[in-house]
Chain A
């Protein structure tokens, strides 16, 4: 099964990447972790997202389309990065996320969401 794994944003990630000894060490740890994922054969793709101040939202209302510029509120609900993994089940995904280095300087969250698969549509 495929899962998308989201690194949720924090006040720090919303400030954008600032090279400090701390963030450099984190990037290094994350690089090692990504190597592990790759060597286990589960990593399909991954990327980091720029802060929401560089993003835009398009609000839909019937025929209406309204563009809203970032940054966006509800920081902790935003996404700062993602992986796409091919795993056997959710337990495996959870086990892998647990060994991820904390992606943020402070408390943070990672969320796992399974993708719909062909079989889910065949009712």
Chain B
């Protein structure tokens, strides 16, 4: 490497190393804040030295050693201070300063494992879902508080406070920064995957703001998903989630029409789907299935894959989709899944099949005032030739939706029923 490295180049190297650095340090100092500070200190030293010396052959190890040295120095200082107090109390004893040695040992742990430990800690269920997402984006994704605030359309102060509180909660709970094992691992893993998918969905189906999608957040979640797949190559659901995100993201270029409205799946220009992401998604799904994937993410990915494989809406394998919904319903029971299942069955086996299933769930409390329910029922009735009933369902749906474009669409469908009555 040559001398004369620019600050920009050094900061780029630091960004690559940052998460691992914090992970390694956090396990030792048991404090995310302190680990972040130590990592930052190491960057400052690199910025002052590397322009003269050139970038070391292994910049990650260099930064870790520097940060570690500072951590040890700080601990020594604390010990000295403590010892002075002891002297005053005339209680001098032969205590051995073994902490640096301990740190040395802890530092030599497998780095991938440390990173995973930090991810599990940032996504610990003691934290709220929002706090987990913000902290993960901060310490693993390396986003600034300002970037996170913009992504979640929040203020920098709110996000900063959320992160501070999360770190404090982690400290109070005395979390170990280790990768959980056994049964706890399964439970904690679902908490990690939930956070990654939450970040993805915040980008994919933006719940607030004027933009319907924020692709930057999707990319961040995909990156996290790919990292997890690298770190946990034997977990079916990790690959299931990755497959789901890659396939959904493949549709981003086709999801928003020229008028800024969401384009439904069946009406998207499939030529604009990102074939590279589809292939990556199908590969990840194959891996999930090899690992015996039958969890909620693998099944949802399998559903997404059915659409990704179809060259046109008419080519969609609806019987397979219906069968997948039957299985998804068992592992992820929800009225919304039931409704989608009814739609899939109507596409596969005709409108009567859809009507039968939708009538089974019509009383579910969660679906009361849920516009997609009467919209789906209207569609089944329309296709069954029961136009008067269909019209009334579409009108009900139009009054329930808060989305003006959707309401207009539903009213147009109601009018079409009236014309054909």
Contacts and interface: CB of A to CB of B under 8 A. Distances in A.
Interface in B153-189: none
A66 interface: no
A42 interface: yes
A15 interface: no
Given A39-B230, A41-B227, A84 B16 contact: no
Contact of A96 (B11, B16, B223, B231): B16
A91 B225 contact: no
Given A84-B276, A92-B15, A42 B223 contact: yes
Contacts, number: 50
B112 A86 contact: no
A41 B276 contact: no
Contacts of A84: 276
Contacts of A96: 16
Most buried by A among B8, B230, B231, B253: B230
Nearest to A93: B12
Given A39-B112, A44-B276, A92 B12 contact: yes
Give the interface size bracket for A toward B: 20 to 34
Nearest to B13: A95
Given A35-B230, A98-B1, A44 B13 contact: no
A82 B25 CA distance: 35
Given A44-B276, A45-B276, A98-B1, A38 B226 contact: yes
B280 A44 contact: yes
Given A35-B230, A38-B229, 15 more contacts: A39-B227, A39-B230, A39-B231, A41-B223, A41-B224, A41-B225, A42-B223, A42-B226, A86-B222, A86-B223, A92-B15, A92-B16, A94-B9, A94-B12, A95-B13
Interface in A92-122: 92, 94-96, 98, 118
A94 B276 CA distance: 23
A41 B224 CA distance: 7
B70 interface: no
B219 interface: yes
A118 B225 CA distance: 23
Interface string B226-239: 11011100000000
Given A84-B276, A91-B9, A95-B9, A41 B226 contact: yes
Nearest to A43: B226
Interface of chain B: mostly helix, strand, loop or mixed: helix
Contacts of B279: 45
Contact of B16 (A38, A40, A118): A40
Contacts of A40: 16, 227, 230
Nearest to A38: B230
Nearest to B252: A118
A32 interface: no
B15 A88 contact: yes
B54 to A, nearest CB: 11
Contacts of A86: 219, 222-223
A61 B9 CA distance: 43
B195 to A, nearest CB: 15
27 contacts: A39-B112, A39-B231, A40-B16, A40-B227, A40-B230, A41-B223, A41-B226, A41-B227, A42-B223, A42-B226, A44-B280, A45-B279, A45-B280, A84-B276, A86-B219, A86-B222, A86-B223, A89-B12, A91-B8, A92-B15, A92-B16, A94-B12, A95-B9, A95-B12, A95-B13, A96-B16, A98-B1
Nearest to A37: B230
B12 A41 contact: no
Nearest to B215: A118
A93 B29 CA distance: 32
A91 B11 contact: yes
A11 B115 CA distance: 41
